[in-house]
Amino acid sequence: MFAQLFISGLSNGSIYALAALGMTVLFRATTVVNFGFGEMFMAGAFVVYVLLKIVGLSYIVAALGACVVLFGLGAVIELGLMRRMENAPHLSLAMMTIAISFLLKGIARVFWGREVLPMPPIFNMPPLEFGDVIVTAQDLVIGGATLALVIVFLLVFRFSWLGKIAQAASQTPRGAALVGLNVPKFRCTIWAVSAAMGAFGGILVAPVTLLYPDMGGQTLTRAFAAMTLGGFGNLGGAVVGGLAMGVIEQMVGGYVDTSLIDVAGYIVIIAVLLLRPTGLFGRKELVRV
């Protein structure tokens, strides 16, 4: 039982890690926490559904199309909304992302109400069995995609000129602009990339969780808990936190009570903020006076 719960936890945790990674990339570059990321998850999945079922495209083309659509949506959100609030307090920026979240959810409800739609699996491969432990192809794909993305972004942020731009643009935007960096264009690109990551996550997750307008809410809670646990702004910490969240949920549900699965994320957030506000891998900020 323990082994199956652990593997199931890693599978679910890969989903949370993928969402936390997308939020962390945006936070790392802009210092904005996107509380609408769960709805970008949902929007990407619905775009794939429309392209598959209504337009009749293949899964690969539909997935690429969804990523492109969400990439454009992220750019529009930054250009049309977030850029107009460039000098606003962080609380106002957070409230704007919450408003975007409700807007996207409301649009989905206009067309689909509260209907739950099945998504066809990406792969029809039989599950792998290792004794009493069962691993599906979907689990392997989600885990592999998460690992690949975290490696890519770790390399980009640590060793490339884009990482240096991100650090300069987030810490001293005015100074970055003075040395010739196009900070607005960079932020627009990061918003677009983060939204496309949300679409990518929704595409992978929808066949497992089914498709409905509220599907992003639970994912957002777990992703935020993963960011809190791993340490805000830490890419590796977001992934470790997501995997840990998945395992914690499964263990609590399997050995204590399944009703605790839905509140595990809130408990983790509260515990981390009380015991270690910087998370597992976060660093305490030092301010010189």
**CA 236 from centroid of its chain's CA atoms:** 13
pLDDT attached to residue 231? 85
Phi first, then psi: give them for residue 129, nearest 5 degrees.
-115, 130
Select from 246, 225, 240, 222 the least CA-distant residue to 281. Answer: 240
pLDDT attached to residue 68? 93
| Residue 257, CA distances (Å) to 41, 230, 254, 262 in order | 28, 25, 7, 10
- pLDDT tens for the chain, 289 residues long, are 788 888 888 888 888 888 888 888 888 778 888 999 989 989 998 999 899 888 888 888 998 999 999 999 999 999 999 888 877 888 899 899 999 999 999 999 998 888 888 887 776 777 777 777 777 777 777 778 777 877 887 777 777 766 666 666 555 656 556 556 677 788 888 899 889 988 888 888 887 778 888 888 888 888 889 999 988 878 788 888 988 998 998 898 888 888 888 888 888 889 998 988 888 886 665 444 4
DSSP-based three-state secondary structure for 129: strand
pLDDT attached to residue 72? 94
DSSP-based three-state secondary structure for 164: helix
H helix intervals, the chain: 2-30, 37-49, 59-77, 90-112, 137-159, 161-171, 173-178, 183-209, 215-230, 235-255, 264-275
